[in-house]
């Protein structure tokens, strides 16, 4: 029972006398260098305390990152739920509405009423995965607060709706295409 760890390792065949001698010599040299001031002697308790602090810092960083990923997933789920519950049915859209996404022009078939509402800013086009959906402007604002990149088109309600339009009395020709 009084055998040292070194003796126990040698009896088990995990170490030999040559390795034991080298380990003793290295320990003695380190102690001598520490006495001379060549190397800084670090207290094992201080080293353990420092390692615990470093580990705690790493754990905090990992927890923060995990929490941020969880928050992003929650926001994505909220956006998906908002779109799916408030999307407007496009039906058999007979009008083609064009908009820009990632520097590319995309087309969406909508009804005539929806085309007018899109132009006035009453409804918006949002991305849901690979699809495009129409949602009311109020819902698009809520989505924009969570992720501005999801709202592809939301025209501003503006000066054309005020009634100050000097051309309001003139009808727009039916054959005029923009």
Q: What is the pLDDT of residue 31?
A: 81
Question: Measured in whole angstroms, how far is the alpha carbon of residue 64 from the centre of its chain?
Answer: 12
> Could you tell me the pLDDT band of residue 7, with boundaries at 50, 70 and 90?
confident
Strand partners, 108: 97
| Coil vs helix vs strand at 41 | coil
> Could you tell me the pLDDT band of residue 59, with boundaries at 50, 70 and 90?
very high
Q: What is the pLDDT of residue 159?
A: 45
What's the pLDDT tens digit per position in 117-156?
Answer: 888 889 999 998 888 999 999 999 999 999 888 898 888 8
pLDDT at 3 over 90: no
* pLDDT above 70 coverage of the chain, percent: 90
Residue 60 or residue 19, greater confidence: 60
Residue showing tokens 């908009």 = 99
d(C-alpha 7, C-alpha 9), whole Å: 5
Helices (H), the chain: 5-12, 17-36, 44-86, 112-120, 137-146
- The DSSP letter of residue 93 is -
User: Which pTM value belongs to this model?
Assistant: 0.57
Domain limits, the chain: 5-36, 42-159
d(C-alpha 168, C-alpha 164), whole Å: 8
């Amino acid at each position: 029972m009084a055998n040292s760890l070194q003796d126990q390792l040698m009896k088990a065949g995990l170490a030999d006398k040559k390795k034991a001698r080298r380990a003793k010599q290295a320990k003695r040299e380190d102690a001598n260098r520490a006495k001379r001031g060549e190397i800084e002697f670090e207290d094992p308790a201080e080293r353990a305390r420092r390692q615990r602090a470093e580990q705690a810092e790493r754990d905090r960083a990992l927890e923060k990152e995990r929490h941020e990923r969880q928050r992003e997933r929650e926001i994505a789920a909220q956006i998906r739920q908002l779109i799916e519950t408030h999307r407007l049915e496009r039906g058999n859209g007979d009008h083609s509405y064009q908009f820009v996404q990632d520097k590319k022009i995309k087309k969406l078939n909508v009804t005539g009423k929806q085309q007018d509402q899109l132009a006035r800013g009453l409804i918006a086009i949002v991305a849901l995965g690979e699809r495009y959906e129409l949602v009311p402007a109020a819902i698009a604002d809520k989505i924009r607060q969570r992720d501005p990149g999801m709202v592809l088109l939301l025209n501003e309600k503006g000066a054309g709706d005020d009634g100050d339009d000097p051309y309001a009395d003139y009808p727009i020709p039916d054959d005029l295409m923009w």
